[in-house]
Amino acid sequence: MLKIFRRQLAAVSSPQVLKEFKNQELIRTKGYVNGNWIESSERKTFSVNNPARATKKEDKIADVYAFDTKEFGDAIEAAEVAFHSFKKTTGRYRADLLQKLYSLMIKNEDDLAKLIVLENGKSYADALGEVRYAASFFQWFAEEAPRVDGDVISSANGANRIITLKQPIGVCGLLTPWNFPAAMITRKLGAAIAVGCTSVIKPASETPLSALSIAHLAEEAGIPPGVVNVLPANKTAEVGQFICEHPLVKKVSFTGSTNVGKLLMKQSSTTLKKLTFELGGNAPFIVFEDADIDKAVQGAITAKFRSSGQTCVCANRIFVHETIYDEFASKFVQKVKETTQLGNGLQESITHGPLIHERSLAKVQQHIKDAVEKGAKVLLGGNHRPDIGEFFHDLTILSDCTQEMDVAHEETFGPVAPLFKFSSEEEVLKLANNTEVGLAGYFYSPDISKVFRVAEELNVGMVGVNTGGISEAALPFGGVKESGFGREGSKYGLADYLTIKSLVIGVE
């Protein structure tokens, strides 16, 4: 029945899809502040558009209220008031709230996945995977919340005792991107709630509906007023600066580009905020001569083409040893042909959707053009697909790529897989590390000595060894160099929402 329903949905407009939701309460266009659903003071709105629709006239999903800095200031003040009581709640109480949020997300996973498909464009299967991934952060941090413990430290002075307390830092500004409109919120919000922080969330202007649906579920779960506040805005730079410079905001967590991260860091310096930044990547994917080629091909498809290449941990440069280069390339092309299909993500057979907007499409086209002009060969794809929709582009594989090409040094953030040939471990490590960023990296080899040697030499924050999929709630997610700092998820994910207070107690 669900498969039939999804085929029907693909043929109708975005508003009609929303009308078919089982839980209509998930569809919100107002902001959520201090437990209330509010309109913007000047009643200004902006359109949320479906990137998979065929024409600009058909793509509007909804009009969402646009909030300005004054209203963000009100939300921050509400969060500050709520913090003074929420920080005193027990870890077990907060764990119960997070567990309710997890259960509500799973209960509503079908509607939440369709909402992601509509505003982001990814396939239904991909979106459903994101919803479950997003929910898992609430579950994970529910399990961590009761175990936020300090230490007793031996003092050099026998008359003293040293005790540390871990305390919530305060109001958190959470700035989230469009490519994971649910998971990038829950990964931050779950940790904040677990330790007793309150939050003001500014979702990406492309995908605010998923954020507002999570706000509704937070309300339904019984999260106290002021603890979770969500305000859509289309004046991204202005609002981001306001949050970073506001004295009541004690921590900012941002996922996005390196250039924006640098700007936000500069703005946050005015109040010396605590920061967690997960920024751009340029992930290498290395296939050594002893690799299982079939497994490496499958891993490359996962690591490169997930969400049409629009993730920060996507493989951006695929290095293949010269002795297996031709075999890998041939199998890679064939497997992509056999297992992928472009189209509207609500259709059952679709595996990959459109790019998010015109700027992303333009960058993909420019990278392909530059590579071809410098000698690359198009093994698969290479074309814009307006026959499907305005922002669709073929999944593309390029061979004979060199270091002179833009794809060797710039993150494409799109469905372009450039293949580079290498001859030695030393050479490929030098090429892989030749970038200012270092978020994720991947390589394939069964040699256990090589596994540890290469993993330790790759200058990235996360390494996938013989796998193309690394993301889960248990993983400390984050990078090095200009990919940012701090870790999200895992047992380490609470640290950036806490301060450590030391007590020195004289006992004699």
- Residues ≥6 apart with Cβ < 8 Å to 166: 148, 149, 150, 195, 498, 499, 500, 501
- Residue of 80, 130, 206, 278 with catalytic role: 278
What is the rounded distance in angstroms from the CA atom of residue 351 to the CA atom of residue 337? Answer: 12
Q: Do 428 and 422 contact (CB within 8 A), yes or no?
A: yes
What is the rounded distance in angstroms from the CA atom of residue 11 to the CA atom of residue 8? Answer: 6
498-506 sheet: strands from edge to edge: 152-153, 160-168, 498-506
Helix (H, G, I), strand (E, B) or coil at 492: coil
What is the rounded distance in angstroms from the CA atom of residue 312 to the CA atom of residue 414? Answer: 10
DSSP sequence for 42-106: T--EEEEE-TTSSSGGG-EEEEEE---HHHHHHHHHHHHHHHHHHTTS-HHHHHHHHHHHHHHHH
Phi, psi of 290 (to 5 degrees): -95, 10
| Range list of β-strands (E), 381-454 | 396-399, 416-422, 437-438, 440-444
- Residue of 172, 244, 312, 401 with catalytic role: 312
* 3-state SS track over 178-191: CCCCCHHHHHHHHH
401 noted as active-site residue: no
What is the rounded distance in angstroms from the CA atom of residue 284 to the CA atom of residue 367? Answer: 17
Going 398 to 420 to 352 to 57, the CA torsion angle's sign is: negative
Angstrom CA distances, 33 to 37, 113, 223, stand at: 7, 24, 12
197 noted as active-site residue: no
Active-site residues, by number, are 278, 312
